[in-house]
Amino acid sequence: QVQLHQWGAGLLKPSETLSLTCAVYGGSFTGYYWSWIRQPPGKGLEWIGEINHSGSTNSNPSLKSRVTTSVDTSKSQFSLRLTSLTAADTAIYFCARGRGGGEWWDYWGRGTLVTVSS
């Protein structure tokens, strides 16, 4: 059974950098794209970006200048950094396993609530 376990700081100040990591347990780490998706409180889902085991990435153009995704295949982990935070970045951040190219996401982490507040 595939499980995604994510962690990172939950309370940040404006202009700070968000850093989240997701560890994958079970299943293969190769052959998939590993995504970050967020959901502001009470709102819908927003795709942030994805990375595969070889480091090939895609990012949402609306966030691209602030997003960095990385992968550590030796640990079956992938990470997200989002810089220059504002209150608008307050959201639940999910990591998820995907097919790539937005086809589907079949396993998800539980989500991390990140609040940006001074």
Partner 1 sequence: SVLTQPPSVSAAPGQKVTISCSGSSSNIGNNYVSWYQQLPGTAPKLLIFENHKRPSGIPDRFSGSRSGTSATLGITGLQTGDEADYYCGTWDGSLSAGVFGTGTTVTV
Name the one range near partner 1 by CB under 8 A: 14-22, 55-63, 67-75, 80-88.
55-63
Name the one range near partner 1 by CB under 8 A: 9-17, 24-32, 76-84, 90-98.
90-98
* 104 is a site residue for partner 1 (CB under 8 A): yes
Tell me the number of residues near partner 1 by CB under 8 A. 26
Closest CB to partner 1 among 20 and 96?
96
CB of 52 to partner 1, least distance (A): 14
DSSP 24-79: EESS-STTSEEEEEEE-TTS--EEEEEEETT--EEE-TTTGGGEEEEEETTTTEEE
* 78 is a site residue for partner 1 (CB under 8 A): no
Cα(32)–Cα(17) distance, integer angstroms: 27
If one counts every other C-beta atom within 10 angstroms of the C-beta of residue 114, the result is 21
Q: Is the dihedral of CA 45, 113, 91, 51 positive or negative?
A: negative
Q: Which amino acid is at 87?
A: A
* 52 is a site residue for partner 1 (CB under 8 A): no
Binding site for partner 1 (CB under 8 A): 35, 37, 44-47, 50, 58-62, 94, 96, 98-99, 101-106, 108-111
